[in-house]
Amino acid sequence: MAKGRVSFFIDRCKACGLCIEFCPKDVLAFDTDTINILGYHPVALIKTDGCTGCGICALMCPDLVIEVERE
Amino acid sequence: MKGNEALAEGAIIAGCRGFFGYPITPSSEIAEYMARKLPGLGGVFFQAESELAAINMVYGGSSTGKRVMTASSGPGISLKQEGISFIAEAELPCLIVNVSRGGPGLGGIQPSQADYFQATRGGGHGDYRLIVLAPSGAQEMMDYTIEAFDLADRYRTPVMIMAEGTLGNIMEPIIVRKPEEKSYDKSWAITGCKGRKPNIINTLHLSSEVLEERNRHLAAKYKLIEQNEKRAETFLTEDADIIVVAFGLMARIVKKSVMEARKKGIKAGLIRPITLWPFPDEHFKKAAETVRLILSVEINMGQMIEDIRLSVNGKVPVEFYGRIGFTPNPEEITKQLLLLAEREGF
Amino acid sequence: MKTVFKKPESLTDAKFHYCPGCTHGIVHRLMAECMDELNIRESTIGICPVGCSVLAYDYFNCDMLEAAHGRAPAIAAAIKRLMPDRTLFTYQGDGDLASIGMGEIVHASVRGEKITVIFINNTVYGMTGGQMAPTTLLGQVTTTSPYGRSKDNEGYPAKMAELLAQNEGSAYICRTAVNNPSNVIKTKKAIKKALQTQIKGVGFSMVEVLSTCPTNWGLSPLDSMKWLEDNMIPYYPLGELKVKEDK
Ligand SMILES: Cc1ncc(C[n+]2csc(CCOP(=O)(O)OP(=O)(O)O)c2C)c(N)n1
Ligand code: SF4
Ligand code: SF4
Ligand code: SF4
């Protein structure tokens, strides 16, 4: 299976949850330990090796928070 | 050449290459002239679906940096006010012609000056002004149009020409003068951002600071225009006891009455505002020193008289004579002058 | 590692002001990706509306003009006529396009203006606080249809794509949605096709995008996606309504 890497511009995240919901691998969640500049708990990767780099999270994110790379 | 054609030809001479309009009497001849001429000159003639669309096309057209215009009358000019307000705020140069007719409502197509308030106070929402020029013959229809495009570019502001319907139809010989080519910085235009940062044309200012800043900037510009551009023609005012004030078509007619009154021993004169905004108040301040009475003659129920009163600031009585539906004729005004002279004892 | 997803060049770095989960952001990005892929950023002029996307001039990294409410198609048409080799797009909400701007959009389509319209149908006036739009569904409660829109009182919702598709001047009319990944991909394809239609000079093009307004619908972003699917798509069927290939 392809391996992917996601990175987040966390200060753009509005915690709408769309990426979490549409990620087929369920590897995203809100980072409740962090509060970003907009006052939200931004999204973070919770299972580092589960991401396939499919890009769906970024496709559904309305705020350009996510960059995706794939092997 | 007919007045409307002289105006249209003047626009072409000035380099206007976009006309956006909607037919309305008595302005349609300008559109018809442009429809015949512009395509052959690589220009755009566009009959819009409404005056709302037409003025917004002018908004778009002028944002490209090209010289563009529209022409309309009464009800059409009212519809255009939305767009004119945007154009004024966006500081886009363009020409708006009001070949004016009688209102309110659908009114009538008789020549009228009833849009004086609308033209000189801005007309739409917000705190802005238009430079308003009032020609009084076919030659001036052409000359002022050429000049209007320069004023528009120089101050980045919409300019209006107010001409009564009769002026549009007046047939007079014209001398065509080629204006000197001037170039203006149009780096603000939206043309595609190749080789530069994107340009934005916008009138929304949500922050109080920016909104006030913008209004102060516009106000400063209007001050500058007031300093530089006030214009009036004077006729036999030097020794006058009574001064008649009239603009546009009315001024032509009043000239005859002034001469007629002089023959009858009344020292009458004429001040004819050429710029309705900025209003040539200095001419009136000066006149107020010597003159005994001012009579404003308008083809409306009394609008410019307010600006005259503000200018003389109570120093001289200002009276009014006006009609609408009919244009006062020279005999009528002469009679008025004789009556006033008799009443005042001069 | 190769990058599969990053911010398109045709968007600036400005953060969107939209509410969390509002799909305006997705459509902005799709439009910008298409501009990148067609390499037209430097020759494109965008017209933004009055509505929640009024600030789009801060987001698109190309020449932009902010229009009066509903008038964007007239402005775009004039610019296109004066500069035929530029690409013109308008981005309009349903109040802007289907209510106050009904005249301008219909005539732009009738005449076949070579412009591309991105039409955001979210069934409400977002910016002014969730009032009824011409696209509000029957039965839908808004702040100005508090008893639910009824055919006898407020009348029927406007089907803009169908309305414009019948005009001879319309060359490409498509309705899409952004409620799931597959529909988002289809929306991008449609926007690209609309722009290509303009570039080829065929005629007027519009993509109506069914979008969400979580704030005024009173739903979470995810529930909004479901509401769109369950309520909007049945009344506003997706797909291409007009495809004209030649000039
Ligand atoms: C002439 C005029 N009338 C009314 C308004 C107020 N207004 C601002 S936005 C808006 C509605 C926008 O709704 P829509 O087009 O659906 O866009 P959305 O906000 O939903 O994206 C209205 C009525 C205005 N700005 N100008
Ligand atoms: S790229 Fe795919 S798998 Fe990876 S986090 Fe995003 S949606 Fe999940
Ligand atoms: S979709 Fe974007 S904005 Fe929404 S939670 Fe995910 S990263 Fe944040
Ligand atoms: S009000 Fe609605 S349309 Fe406007 S930004 Fe918020 S969610 Fe989006």
Domains of chain B, residue spans: 3-183+200-228, 233-344
When the pLDDT of each residue in chain B is averaged and rounded to a whole number, the result is: 97
The predicted-structure confidence for C54-85, as pLDDT tens digits, reads as follows 999 999 999 999 999 999 999 999 999 999 99
Q: Which helix (H) or strand (E) holds C65?
A: strand C63-66
Find the Cα–Cα–Cα–Cα dihedral C5, C8, C9, C13, rounded to 10°.
-100
In whole angstroms, give the CA distance from residue C242 to residue C31: 20
Rounded average pLDDT over B19-36: 97
Rounded average pLDDT over C92-118: 98
Hey, are the CB atoms on C82 and B17 less than 8 Å from each other?
A: yes
Facing residues of C48 across strands?
C66
Least confident of B165-169, B223-227, C81-85: B165-169
The predicted-structure confidence for B134-143, as pLDDT tens digits, reads as follows 999 999 999 9
In whole angstroms, give the CA distance from residue B176 to residue B163: 20
Per-residue confidence (pLDDT) for residue B181, from 0 to 100: 86
Does the pLDDT at position B122 exceed 90? yes
Determine the distance separating the centroid of ligand 3 and the alpha carbon of A6, expressed in angstroms: 12
Calculate the alpha carbon distances from C217 to C27, C52, C225 in Å.
Answer: 19, 15, 11
Per-residue confidence (pLDDT) for residue C39, from 0 to 100: 98
DSSP letters spanning C79-144: HHHHSTTSEEEEEEEHHIIIIITHHHHHHHHHHT-S-EEEEEE-SEETTTTSEE-TTPPTT--BTT
In whole angstroms, give the CA distance from residue B273 to residue B245: 8
Nearest by Cα to B297 from B249, B239, B232, B238: B249
CATH number of B3-183+200-228: 3.40.50.970
CATH number of B233-344: 3.40.50.920
CA-closest residue to ligand 2 atom 2: A54
From the CA of A66, give the closest atom in ligand 2: 6
Per-residue confidence (pLDDT) for residue C195, from 0 to 100: 98
Per-residue confidence (pLDDT) for residue C245, from 0 to 100: 85
Per-residue confidence (pLDDT) for residue B178, from 0 to 100: 87
Ligand nearest to the CA of A6: 2
Per-residue confidence (pLDDT) for residue B346, from 0 to 100: 82
Domains of chain C: 24-129+159-243 (3.40.50.970)
Does the pLDDT at position A1 exceed 90? no
Rounded average pLDDT over B55-72: 98
When the pLDDT of each residue in chain A is averaged and rounded to a whole number, the result is: 96
The CA distance from C46 to the nearest CA of chain B, in Å, is: 9
From the CA of B82, give the closest atom in ligand 1: 1
Q: Which two tokens stand for residue B43?
A: 């220009």
Per-residue confidence (pLDDT) for residue A40, from 0 to 100: 98
Per-residue confidence (pLDDT) for residue C164, from 0 to 100: 98
When the pLDDT of each residue in chain C is averaged and rounded to a whole number, the result is: 98
The predicted-structure confidence for B256-287, as pLDDT tens digits, reads as follows 999 999 999 999 999 999 999 999 999 999 99
The predicted-structure confidence for C38-53, as pLDDT tens digits, reads as follows 999 999 999 999 999 9
Does the pLDDT at position C198 exceed 80? yes
Does the pLDDT at position B322 exceed 80? yes
Rounded average pLDDT over B332-345: 95
B72 touches B136 (CB < 8 A): no
Ligand nearest to the CA of A20: 3
Q: At B228, is the pLDDT very low, low, confident or very high (cuts 50, 70, 90)? A: very high
Residues of chain C contacting A56 with CB distance shorter than 8 Å: 181
CA-closest residue to ligand 2 atom 6: A57
Rounded average pLDDT over A42-52: 93
Per-residue confidence (pLDDT) for residue B31, from 0 to 100: 98
Query: Are chains B and A in touch, 3+ Cβ pairs below 8 Å?
Result: no
pTM to 2 decimals? 0.97
CA-closest residue to ligand 3 atom 6: A19
pLDDT above 90 covers what percent of chain B?
98
Per-residue confidence (pLDDT) for residue C35, from 0 to 100: 98
A17 to chain C, any CB pair closer than 8 A? The answer is yes
C25 to chain A, any CB pair closer than 8 A? The answer is yes
Q: At C174, is the pLDDT very low, low, confident or very high (cuts 50, 70, 90)? A: very high
Per-residue confidence (pLDDT) for residue C246, from 0 to 100: 79
Per-residue confidence (pLDDT) for residue B162, from 0 to 100: 97
Q: At B67, is the pLDDT very low, low, confident or very high (cuts 50, 70, 90)? A: very high
Rounded average pLDDT over A1-7: 88
Q: Which two tokens stand for residue B199?
A: 């340009």
Kindly identify which residue of chain A lies nearest to residue C19, measuring between CA atoms.
A14
Question: Which SS3 state, helix, strand or coil, does residue C199 take?
Answer: helix
Residue of C5, C22, C225 lying closest to A55 (CB–CB): C5
> Best mutation site among A5, A6, A7, A14 for testing chain C: the one with the most C CBs within 10 Å?
A14
Q: At B156, is the pLDDT very low, low, confident or very high (cuts 50, 70, 90)? A: very high
ipTM of the complex: 0.97
C213 touches C205 (CB < 8 A): no
Q: Which two tokens stand for residue B11?
A: 């626009």
- Classify C9 in phi/psi space as left (phi over 0), alpha (psi -120 to 50) or beta: alpha
A12 touches C15 (CB < 8 A): yes
In whole angstroms, give the CA distance from residue B217 to residue C148: 47
Does the pLDDT at position B341 exceed 80? yes
Q: At A48, is the pLDDT very low, low, confident or very high (cuts 50, 70, 90)? A: confident
Determine the distance separating the centroid of ligand 3 and the alpha carbon of A8, expressed in angstroms: 9
Neighbours of chain C (3+ CB pairs under 8 A): A, B
Domains of chain A: 4-70 (3.30.70.20)
Domain B3-183+200-228 identical in fold to domain B233-344: yes
Q: Which helix (H) or strand (E) holds C173?
A: strand C170-177
Q: At A2, is the pLDDT very low, low, confident or very high (cuts 50, 70, 90)? A: confident
